[in-house]
Structure 1
């Protein structure tokens, strides 16, 4: 089981993550949506496509752009469609 925790709270938990470039991508349904807010930030990867971001909000604290996903990944990254990954101090452990 892989967990993503931030600010002492489990944000996501799944035994079905996909690891790409060292990052665990959790199925969207394994991520606790109540901790996510939309971000206007985006970034581009030549082989994965355009990433969109979420902020994490736990106990009144915000971790900006700490979760990302590819709403329409390129074919080479199709396995991460509908999955979310984390960074910026989010602890991911198996």
Structure 2
């Protein structure tokens, strides 16, 4: 699957390597293009996944605020709920194009 924003490929991975959580595809960290994610100070803590890290996305010569997020250190109980360790996997906002 491929993530594209403003004509820039942000991430690309086989669907078998992705994790689906609450309707969002989470991409392995190694599948995300280098230099496109910029850490954001936007705070959020999910009640069951834990502390979230938001990212702005650098694409098409612009910085698109808070269009990606990750859980660097999810709560251990979240692994049981999801069925896999999704630490550091990256999900993208619906405004980013995700295709097969």
Separation (CA, whole Å) in 2 of partners of 1:76 and 1:33 = 30
Structure 2, unaligned runs of 5 or more: 80-84
Separation (CA, whole Å) in 2 of partners of 1:88 and 1:38 = 19
1:13-92 map, 5 Å: 13-15=12-14, 16-78=17-79, 79-92=85-98
Structure 1, unaligned runs of 5 or more: none
Indicate the RMSD between aligned Cα atoms, in angstroms: 1.2
Bigger Rg, which one:
2
**TM-score for the superposition, normalised by structure 1:** 0.90
Query: How far did residue 6 of structure 1 move?
Result: 0.6
SS in 2 for 1:34: coil
Residue 15 (structure 2) pairs with residue 9 (structure 1): no
Q: How many residues align?
A: 93
Runs ≥4 residues deviating over 4 A? none
**TM-score for the superposition, normalised by structure 2:** 0.85
